[in-house]
Every structure is written in C-alpha cells, then in structure tokens.
Structure 1
C-alpha cells in the first residue's frame, strides 16, 4: 500500500499543534532532529516537514498529497487545492494596522497610503472591493517594523493576541479575514490514497468531537431520572446504573463543553447530586 504524504510546517506557529494532532490521532514517528521526511511507525503515512510558504505549491504539484496549513496562506497563494477539514486550532486574523497615534480606525484612512504586507494578493482584493487605492510594499518578514522606519504608513499581517503590534507601536483597525489551520489535499488524489485520507479524517473528527465534549456522571433519585434524562443532550440515551443505596441511581452521559454550565445548573435544580465531569480523549460516533 502507498503511503499518504502529508506536509507539516517544520517550525513556527503551526508546527506544535500539527504534531499534537498527529499524536492524538495515534500516529507515531521518530522525530529526529533536522529530518525533513519521516515515515509513521503505525499508519501508512509519510510526514514532510517543510517551510510554510512552500507547502501550497508542493501540494498543488502532487509532491505531497495533503497538508496541515493556515487557511490564510491558501487564500493568498491561490493554488488549485481542496480544503477537506477545518481543524480548529492556530486561529488568527489577517488585519490592517496603523500607528497608535492615528485616530481613525476606518478603511478610508488607507486611501493613497503605503501598506507593507506579506499578503499582497489578499490585501489587493480587499482594497479593490472597498474602492481603496494604495501602494502595497511586499515584505517577507518583520512587517511590523515598516511604519517605524518610514517604509509604509500602515501594515497588513496575521494577528493572534495583538501583542506584537502593541510592542511595535501599532494598533489593529480593520480585519480582512479570519483564519485557522485546515487539512487540504491535492485535487488528483488516487483512490488508494483517498481511502487512507478517509481513515485519517475519521481519527481527526473523533479527536475533535472529544475535545468539544465532556463525560458526566451524577447521582439522581430514581423518581427524578426521567426529568434529568430530558435535560441531558446525549447521543442516544443516558446510561442508568442502580446504586447500593435504595432509591438512587448513577447516570452517565456526554455533555457539550459550550453548554456545560447551563446544563449543570438545570441538572442541580432537577435533583442531581455529586456531579463528576471527566475529559474525553477520543469519541467515536
């Protein structure tokens, strides 16, 4: 069987989260220092550790089959690549920023200004959409320094917390787009490799579902079981186990992280006691 070739950023913002996802999916490999290609020990996969900006081209050309990459980079590079899954980590914004002493936060401020960026295509499309004419100065790194050295009036760059902008005397004004890590694939994937990708996607989705859920256990008076069961947002129905003490049962279920406190309050009011919450490692539906 052929191996599925996956590209991962070799360093920087995406690397650690990408490696953690592979490990959470049960894929292990020998991550020796300075290796650019390694084979998984227990899954038909080869991991390519590549420079981030090179990945879209390698993916389009079929050098690799799939890649974990920032959505913002795919939009900028405009390659013929399919996004198959949003991964929910490495979230950021591509935003315009100006010196702190600029009073305006409006896009109109950039009219006839100079903008330094590593995302010229993304910026130009946004400016055209908003009828703004500006001079785009392309910089491959350290974009934040451009206004301080007189190279540009403002910048466009990726923003996570905004601390880097703050340290360089800048403030975020206009968000062009929001981005996160995605799993993308070559458009001409063979049927054999698509089958491997489907297995990998199954693992990714199991991990993702688990992260959004918690396992919940509670003790409930028997006469309150129906009421409590109505509250629980379960997959099918809760598990009910009689306790040693007469008239009481233990109820086991799954609860969504985002509804946690809302549901807990309802359960307590319905008579649930001794509520225990446990993280879920994997969740196969």
Structure 2
C-alpha cells in the first residue's frame, strides 16, 4: 500500500470522538416544503452507518449538508464534521455518487487520480495511490483503458478507487451501487467491505436496498417519509469480517433484515 501521510486529509478529531454530528436538524426549503424534521444522529469515527427511507425523505440532503453543498439559511439545528461546521471542499470528505462521473478523455488511472490532482497532491504520490486502489478493485490491468472501453461495473470500480485514493477520513456514498446488476452489485459490496475493514474510514452510506444496508453496516438508520424523521437506529451486531454473499445463509442476518423492513413500513405510513 502507498505510504500513508501523517496528515491524512482530515480535520482534528473532535473531543467527543464523533466524525459527523446532526443535532436537532430541521430543513425547510419553502414554507410549504419541509424536507427534514428534528434529525439527531451521531456517527463515530470509523463507523459504517447506512440510511434507508422512502424516496424524497431527505437522505441525500443530509449528505449534502455534511459536504457543505446546501445553504444553511434553510437549516435549523447543528451539523458538525469533526467538531467543525461543514465547508465546501472539506479535505476530510470524499463523495461518491450513484453514477461514476468519469471523464471520458482520461484513462482509468487518470480518473482514479483526479480527486488527488484537484487537491494538489504531487504527481508521483497521486499516481502511486491511484494505481494501488485500481489494483485493489481488480482493474490494475485496465489502468490505460478509457471509460468507453469499460463496462458499467468496471466504471463504478474506477469511481470507488478514485474515492479511496483521495485518502479522506470520511466517505459519503449516495447509492453508489444502485444502478448495477445484482451480481456486480454483490461483488462491489464485498469489495467495499474489504477496503473499509482494512482502513476503518467513516462511511455514511445512502441506499434503498435493505439487504445492502444490513449486510455492510454497523448501524442502519431508518427515516420516515417527508418530512424525514429518524424512526429507528438499528444496531447490526453481525460478526466481522463479513461476506455479503455468505450472509444470505445466516438466520441472524434475516432477522435483522425483517426488523429494518418493519421499521421502514412504519415510516411509509407517514406519507
């Protein structure tokens, strides 16, 4: 693995050990449009937390506030990242979207190093990091391939390598595997788990897939329909390391899945 820098892209850890903190967060974009209501959520450093809920309940809005992408004029309450107010371009954060967003004129390696390049990392270091993570996601042999020559699943692997190469301590992931076929999705879920279990970065993960949430997370937060409220925070006490595919045969996994599903159904009644 590339030498990790002592000053990994992160703010100093907050005294309470929390990477992300929402306290009493209510968001109203217009008088008649309330997106979120009284969100209280604390995410510890190194924790993997998934958020599930109906479409339009404000899951992505939460990520965007953490990333400093939404004007705070609409927000009541407090959002903190490592004990500080969020800002756009925070170096502690890397954001992975549902679509790969690769630049078609750059190779897989060029795309994997793009985030590091934007942040001003020296060329040799960013190339080293990008090549390392491309290899970890199984694309070392495709480093010089352009996106047009890659399948959708391979493109999303490049996006995953780009996200980890940035060396941010907090990863925001907004349905990163939602558009993939079932087999590729399982492969990338296991791949993400293996990377996270090795590096223990903080992950806030948005998904509509309850199986995905239960399989990978330390906790699954369930939100109601708009205005989004947290109606359950379910600890996932399955042993680690985990295999998403192996869990399908585990009765404890299915019990937790049913518990999360019941809470999600309660949330749908708020519509």
TM-score tier (shorter)? under 0.3
**TM-score of the superposition, structure 2-length normalised?**
0.23
Larger Rg: 1
Select the structure with the greater relative contact order (CA < 8 A; seq sep ≥ 6): 2
More strand by share: 1
**TM-score of the superposition, structure 1-length normalised?**
0.22
